[in-house]
Structure 1
Amino acid sequence: MFSLSQLWYAPRWFHWVLILLLLPLSLLFALISATRRQAFKLGIKQSCKVDAAVIIVGNISVGGNGKTPLVVYLAQLLTEQGYRPGILTRGYGGKSGVYPLQVNAESQVTEVGDEPMLMIQHVTCPLVVDPVRARGANYLVEQCHCDVIICDDGLQHYALQRDVEIVVMDGHRRLGNQLLLPAGPLREGKWRLKTSDFIVTNGELAQEGEYAMSLQPGDFINISNPQRKCKLSDMQQTVTALAGIGNPQRFFSLLAKYNIKMKQQLSFVDHHDFKASDLPSGRVLMTEKDAVKCRSFAHEDCWYLPVKATLSDAFSKELLSKLSGTVLKISSKNTNNNINNTN
């Protein structure tokens, strides 16, 4: 069966006919993207600078590359270091009548999206959903008093100025055929990697100038009864594995790595709106991102696998070093402004 994944990441000779047909659309996409970037650079389109350091976590290719675990990692790291971070996300898949929308444990996935509901289970900092990033960023500064904002998936959102850019790359698929949409998977060209501060590679050995990130699995957790857990090594029963993420094969490969026997592998599109009919009988394993949408109807033998991002000390030290000067500069500017206003 034909899929864009094949076209972009594993094209065979006959796929290149379709790629060639799509190239004019990719050229149009490149022209529109370049015009938009130039409009921000020249001030024709306005960008917003908030009174906090802004870390952008994004990618130059479409699909899930591991941004969400990295955002959680950064929020936990910065909290431990004494910063007051806040997470800003678009909330893809959710729809609300009011923005900015602050997420809590009681939020509805239909309003805030699946990824925010996953993240709020692992962080203690404020988390805000707003498709208008500048508005959401200002809310985090003014209402939540955050001094660092971690913006999830905002690399191409130039309306919000940033201090640090982190590009996350799938270590296995990398940049695919290196073409822009729709002939390839790229939102921006390979040149964009050179302008970012960090390149984080998920799942494979990092190349020169990149930082490796691995996703370490925890214990399986039962969806309908979270008190029930099962170690990876104890999952001996044959299962059905399903995933509605950007790269479902990554989840299936992780299960295979731990010798879990799968009688069926069900792939869904990213952010799939699961229904009870999607869940087969018997033991079902899924990602945590999928599980947040299945809680109200999952049967008693549905389990999810949480994962935790791990990165080198070198990455953390470099990031904190870059961030400390930025936060100090913003803090000093705000102090001077307060003194001037008092006078």
Structure 2
Amino acid sequence: MTALERSWYQPYGWSWLLWPLSVLFALISALRRQLFKTGVLKTSKLPVPVVVVGNISVGGTGKTPVTLWLCDYLRQKGWKPGIVSRGYGVTIKAPKLVDVQHDNPSTVGDEPYLLASRSSCPVVVCPDRVAAAHYLLAQTDCNIIVSDDGLQHYALYRDLEIILLDGSRGLGNGLLLPAGPLREGAWRLKNADLVLSNALPNSHTPYTFELQPAQARALLDEQQKLLPGAQVTLVSGIGNPRRFTRSAAQMGYHTDKAHFFPDHHAFSADDLADLTGPLLMTEKDAVKCRPFAKTDWFYLPVSARVPQAAQDLLAAKLSQLWSRYGL
């Protein structure tokens, strides 16, 4: 976490000096929303429902595990989900259907690659989510689209919004970028169909989901597992490494060494060459490190557990969409 990011979560952090820039950011964001609302900027509506899973804040909230849970939940309810994602940190100009056999995280992005690997759903990556969604419909038989981290991508009409919050960090100082961690103000939560808080309850939602870790698995051999109680060196390149630290401790792994890199860090063998194993990393980092992994490198699988009350609310809204779209 950078000095600026640490300041966002301090009561009187120095980032308040950037407040004038936050006001400008808010004005530009408001103007952009108004242009979409009035039709000056076009919003594209698809022939199938679109569900957005996203954040109003910068940093990790457990979005990838929740997206994986949602895709599994949709299949259980009889839907055929597909996923569209931006592909952060990679250069993609035209929509691309992720092929886990031939693509890699450096060409399609770490999150899209992980989603394609774990969800068994078709995943199309492109900065233009409208183009990605049309391509997904043309190439697959999906009848519902999950937009990964597309909350502020208003060019794509959405039928259902799920916003995630980090219960431990909340909304920080409550300011918009760059003085605070918010992409949009707290008012935005009231417009969502479902707000889920990670780990800890807060005043913004009654629904709290859990991230349940499992026994660590070796990068080079999924059948090889790391027994709880082992002393490990933590490695991560995610938005909220503290959550990873808690999950590792929850599974009984001990550490006094941790090496945290920026979110979406493009790992190389040199980054980890001097670290002593066993190394323990997140699954999102593991997909990038597997090509040069050693035998004592492990990743920590994590799955989301969504409360039944939230599932019931989601089921009711999905039932309405099923009828509305004549599915």
Indicate the TM-score class for this superposition, using the shorter chain for normalisation: over 0.9
How far apart are residue 48 of structure 1 and its match? 0.3
- TM-score, reference length from structure 2: 0.94
Name the counterpart of 1:340: none
- Asked whether the 8 Å contact 1:52–1:327 carries over to 2, the reply is no
Name the counterpart of 2:278: 283
Coordinate RMSD, CA, aligned:
1.6
Amino acid at match of 1:40: F
SS at match of 1:295: helix
SS at match of 1:172: coil
How far apart are residue 167 of structure 1 and its match? 0.5
Identify which of 230, 238, 255 aligns with 1:245.
238
- Are 2:295 and 1:300 equivalent residues in the alignment? yes
Identify which of 263, 269, 279 aligns with 1:270.
263
Mean Cα deviation higher: 206-215 or 294-303: 206-215
How far apart are residue 208 of structure 1 and its match? 6.3
- Asked whether the 8 Å contact 2:167–2:202 carries over to 1, the reply is yes
SS at match of 1:134: helix
- Asked whether the 8 Å contact 1:241–1:284 carries over to 2, the reply is yes
- Asked whether the 8 Å contact 1:218–1:305 carries over to 2, the reply is yes
Q: Which runs of 5+ in 2 are unaligned?
A: none
SS at match of 1:236: coil
How far apart are residue 137 of structure 1 and its match? 1.1
- Asked whether the 8 Å contact 1:198–1:210 carries over to 2, the reply is no
Q: Which runs of 5+ in 1 are unaligned?
A: 333-343
Name the counterpart of 1:317: 312
How far apart are residue 122 of structure 1 and its match? 1.9
**How has the CA–CA distance of structure 1 residues 258 and 220 changed in structure 2, closer, same or farther, with 3 Å as cutoff?**
closer
Count of aligned residue pairs for this structure pair: 324
Amino acid at match of 1:262: T
**How has the CA–CA distance of structure 1 residues 141 and 324 changed in structure 2, closer, same or farther, with 3 Å as cutoff?**
farther
**How has the CA–CA distance of structure 1 residues 206 and 73 changed in structure 2, closer, same or farther, with 3 Å as cutoff?**
farther
Name the counterpart of 2:23: 27
Give CA-to-partner distance per residue, 1:215-243, whole Å, 9 cap, x none. Answer: 1111211012222123xxx2333211011
Amino acid at match of 1:9: Y
Amino acid at match of 2:23: L
Matches within 5 A, 1:1-343: 3-11=3-11, 13=12, 15=13, 18-96=14-92, 99-106=94-101, 107-205=103-201, 207=203, 209-230=205-226, 234-279=227-272, 280-331=275-326
- Asked whether the 8 Å contact 1:84–1:148 carries over to 2, the reply is yes
How far apart are residue 315 of structure 1 and its match? 1.4
- Asked whether the 8 Å contact 1:50–1:141 carries over to 2, the reply is no
Amino acid at match of 2:10: A
Distance, in Å, in 2 between the alignment partners of 1:20 and 1:9 is 11
- Asked whether the 8 Å contact 1:53–1:323 carries over to 2, the reply is no
Amino acid at match of 2:115: M
How far apart are residue 206 of structure 1 and its match? 5.0
Give CA-to-partner distance per residue, 1:159-196, whole Å, 9 cap, x none. Answer: 00111011000010010000011010000111101111
State the identity as a percent: 47
- Asked whether the 8 Å contact 2:197–2:205 carries over to 1, the reply is no
- TM-score, reference length from structure 1: 0.90
**How has the CA–CA distance of structure 1 residues 209 and 2 changed in structure 2, closer, same or farther, with 3 Å as cutoff?**
closer
**How has the CA–CA distance of structure 1 residues 313 and 126 changed in structure 2, closer, same or farther, with 3 Å as cutoff?**
same
How far apart are residue 314 of structure 1 and its match? 1.8
Name the counterpart of 1:338: none
- Asked whether the 8 Å contact 2:267–2:288 carries over to 1, the reply is yes
Distance, in Å, in 2 between the alignment partners of 1:139 and 1:327 is 22
How far apart are residue 105 of structure 1 and its match? 2.1
Give CA-to-partner distance per residue, 1:28-70, whole Å, 9 cap, x none. Answer: 0011000000000111111100011110111110111111111
